[in-house]
Every structure is written in C-alpha cells, then in structure tokens.
Amino acid sequence: MNNFNYVQQKTIKEVGQFIKEKPNSILYAGGTDALDLIKHNVISPENVVNLKLIPDMDRIRTSTEHGLSIGALVNIAEIANNNMIVEKYPILAQAAREVASPQLRNMGTVGGNICQRPRCWYFREDFNCLRKGGGVCYAYDGENKYHCIIGGGPCFIVHPSDLAVALLALEAKVTIQSAKGKHTIPISEFFMLPDVDYTKENILQPGEVVTEILIPALQKNIKSSYVKFKERGVWDFAIVSVGAVIKKEGNKIIEGRIALGGIAPVPWVEKDFNGKLTGLSTNENSISEVVKELLNNAEPLAKNEYKLTLARNLTKQLLLNLVA
C-alpha cells in the first residue's frame, strides 16, 4: 500500500474544489471498498478525501413529495434494521441484510455500495486488464464463471451491488452534487455499460458526489422482495440476485418490475419483460411461461451459461412467493 494524505472536508463545495486542484484523489465514506483497492494496488491515490463530516448526508427521512430519502452516508446496517424500511420497503431491507458481514454493514454506506468497483479477479489482482488501462479483458477467454451473460463487451464484469438491484426495482433516483450545483437522475441512468466507457461503472465526474437516494412512495397493494444466490452462506457477492416489486389485484399482476444483479456490468432491467408482467395471471403455469422469455438476448461466456437458468428460476420462485 502506497502512502497517501488523509483529507477532511466539510462541504461538497470544498470537496469539488480540492479534487479539481488535486485530481489524483478518491472519496472516502465507509472505506470498505476504497481501502481494499488501495491495499491491492488497483489504485494509488495521493489523497483520500473523507466525506463523513459533511452534514445531513447520514439521515433517513420521509416526505409526501419523494416518499423516502436516504442520505448517501447512511450505513447499510441502518437500512437493514430500520423498522419503517422493513415494513414499507422490504426489498431494500432484505438486500441490505445480504451485504457482506455485520461488521462491514456497520461500516459501509449506501452511497459507497452503489459506487463500488467490480470484484473481477483480473481487475483486483495483478493483471493489466482493459478496465485498468490495458489492452484486453482476460475474462473473455479466461476464468469467467462469475462474469456477465448480458451487456458485456469489451469488458465483462458484473456489478457487485446488492442495494442497487433493489433500488432499480423501486425506481429510485440519485442526487448528485458538486461545487457547481446538484441534479437528480433516475438510478437507471446512473450506471455505465462498458461499451460507453470500460474504465468506469457510473457517470460520476471528478468532484461529483452522490448525496442522496430518493425512493417514491409505494401505492397500496404493492409487494416487494429480494433474493440472492451465493456460493457461501455468508459474506459473499451474488452469483445471481433478483429484486421484484409487484402490484396484484385478484388473480392478476397489475404492474411488475424485475431487476437483476450478478449477470451484467450494471444492475439489469429488461423493460420488455417487465411489460409482459402487466395483466399476467398469477398461476404457476403463466409465470413459468413468461419467465422463459427473461434474458432472451443473453450471450453467456464459456463457463457461465448456468447463470441464465439460475436467473430464470430465481425470478420464477420470487414471483410465485409474492403472488401467493
């Protein structure tokens, strides 16, 4: 690990100005990913900028306009254990409980979780891969059991965030702030596919900070849930994960949204598939048939075709549980 300067800043404006003057800097909140990247020499920043002193970024609030507001510095354990979130947004609480270990959930933040870097072993270890500025993605012809089956090329990572999948299914928005001001975008527009820029996972520019997550108030009769398949019982990233939000009336799904993790370089939504859930009968045969159309454009690599079957089976079981 190289030496670095630890810098305290108290406002977003100060953060933006500092990074403008000293671009070889990274942001630090919980530190669970940033310090790991430094330790493994994936990055070598001159400065680590602490965000924890910035006010009002560690609160959970409700409002009639936005529903739920979660500051980017709220730790993941608080999301998992907040009674209101558990009751009204169970998909988010369940996703939070699936993150890493209790210790890391107490350290890690919501903003850090959605901004974390990929877990690809070629990226994390001593390979000069495409995402680190090299000329090739070693996963394509290499060990790709855990890599993407859709949305890949020229880099084939998967996005590691559990919370992002739940937030995508909830149609959340992300507020981004810099010294120039702030703006809010749908979370679906926050993440970046590798064919746009294979060195980045999201649209953040230097000096920009995620400050808040906004989740719309859910209508009555909305049910939601999150499921994650992993190899180890605890502290593991998703092989495949699925988040679902549905509204049911009688024996019909009135509205449904499925988001998936572990299968693409970004948290993944297929709008065409979600459209097919509208008006769908809640019987097992109907759900089984529609799930066969999920990820029809998938292009698995040599060693990860199993993810397609797994994603469909998890989606089927999650939908059946929600309509029961």
**Chain Cα centroid distance, residue 271:** 18
Across residues 206-221, what is the average pLDDT? 94
pLDDT band with cut points at 50, 70 and 90 for residue 132:
very high
Q: Is residue 3 part of a domain?
A: no
Whether the upstream peptide bond of residue 154 has omega within 30° of 0, thus cis, is yes
- Token digits of residue 101: 């270990």
Across residues 280-295, what is the average pLDDT? 99
Among 215, 237, 256, residue at a domain's last position: 215
Q: Is residue 203 part of a domain?
A: yes
Residue-number span of the structural domain to which 252 is assigned: 222-323
- Asked if 190 and 209 sit in the same domain, the reply is yes
Distance from C-alpha of 163 to C-alpha of 233, rounded to nearest angstrom: 18
- Collapsing DSSP states into helix, strand and coil, what is residue 36? helix
Query: Does the pLDDT of residue 64 top 90, yes or no?
Result: no
- Asked if 317 and 177 sit in the same domain, the reply is no
- Asked if 105 and 200 sit in the same domain, the reply is yes
Q: Which helix (H) or strand (E) holds 184?
A: strand 181-186
pLDDT of residue 15: 96
Q: Is residue 272 part of a domain?
A: yes
pLDDT band with cut points at 50, 70 and 90 for residue 63:
confident
| pTM, entire model | 0.98
Across residues 5-26, what is the average pLDDT? 95
- Token digits of residue 196: 């746009």
Total number of domains in the chain: 2
Q: What percent of the chain has pLDDT over 90?
A: 96
What CATH number is attached to the domain comprising 91?
3.30.465.10
pLDDT of residue 2: 86
Q: Which residues pair with 248 in a beta bridge?
A: 253
- Asked if 98 and 239 sit in the same domain, the reply is no
- Asked if 171 and 290 sit in the same domain, the reply is no
Across residues 79-96, what is the average pLDDT? 98
Residues 255 and 137: beta-carbon distance below 8 Å: no
What CATH number is attached to the domain comprising 309?
3.30.390.50
pLDDT band with cut points at 50, 70 and 90 for residue 232:
confident
pLDDT of residue 156: 99
Among 174, 200, 215, residue at a domain's last position: 215
